[in-house]
Amino acid sequence: MLNLVLFGPPGAGKGTQSEKLIAQYQLVHLSTGDLLRSEIREGTELGLRAKMLMDQGILVPDEVVIGMIENKLTENRSAAGFIFDGFPRTVPQAEALDALLAHHNTEIRVMVALVVDEDELTKRLLIRGQSSGRPDDQNEELIHRRIKEYNDKTAPVAIYYESQGKFKAIGGIGNIEEIFQAICEKIETATANVRQ
Ligand code: ADP
């Protein structure tokens, strides 16, 4: 199985690059943000509780997203691999993901981090907010709160993967296709190392 983590702050381009990676490698896309928004649309109790936090730019509790990922892994046992987008966002989530994948006799091959500075992120998210309708993309203060959550709680996840030799950083500003090619190179290198 080819399991990837696509990592980076809000607005780094994870969703855009995920779509291209899914097409290239036939992976199942697991975005906890999308899964939570679908719970909100369906009006579930989990969705209602998550919405209160998401509307403030705060992370939802680890056990909520870990439970959702666990269900999806079980539902897609025959997948060629998974692309994790917006997950793991805390070190306990990363530890839980390792344990879940080990249970399915597989593991993360590489974690690719898209690096984009805060000014560019803010610009992109405000533009996205005009068309996506996402409330958390339409308010500059909320965008800063999300980036702060990322710096405080999510950035340490990079060190977690670095200690496993799986962390690869890529500049996330520039041509979408060139960024995609750079990601693919990291995946191919990691795959060649596995085969050796
Ligand atoms: P973005 O990365 O653009 O902010 P996401 O769609 O990934 O957007 O996430 C939107 C919101 O959903 C986050 O601000 C957070 O409240 C919640 N969320 C998504 N994934 C997670 C996660 N793995 N852990 C905790 N909260 C999450």
Residue list, annotated binding site for ATP? 11-16, 128, 174
What tens digit of pLDDT does each residue of 162-190 get? 999 999 999 999 999 999 999 999 999 99
**Residue 32 alpha carbon to ligand 1 centre in Å:** 6
The pLDDT-based confidence of 196 (bands split at 50, 70, 90) is low
Which tokens belong to 40?
């909100």
* Known catalytic residue at 134: yes
Domain residue spans of the chain: 2-184
Question: Using N-to-C axis directions, what is the helix angle for 62-75 and 91-103, rounded to 10°?
Answer: 20
Residue list, annotated binding site? 11-16, 32, 37, 58-60, 86-89, 93, 128, 134, 146, 174
The pLDDT-based confidence of 21 (bands split at 50, 70, 90) is very high
C-beta of residue 105 within 8 angstroms of C-beta of residue 99:
no
Q: Taking the model in full, what pTM does it have?
A: 0.95
Q: Which atom of ligand 1 is nearest to the CA of 149?
A: 14
Top-level CATH class of 2-184?
alpha beta
What tens digit of pLDDT does each residue of 44-96 get? 999 999 999 999 999 999 999 999 999 999 999 999 999 999 999 999 999 99
Whether pLDDT at 195 is above 80: no
C-beta of residue 113 within 8 angstroms of C-beta of residue 5:
no
What tens digit of pLDDT does each residue of 95-124 get? 999 999 999 999 999 999 999 999 999 999
> Reduced to 3 DSSP states, what percent helix, strand and coil does the chain have, rounded to the nearest 5?
60, 10, 25
**Residue 10 alpha carbon to ligand 1 centre in Å:** 8
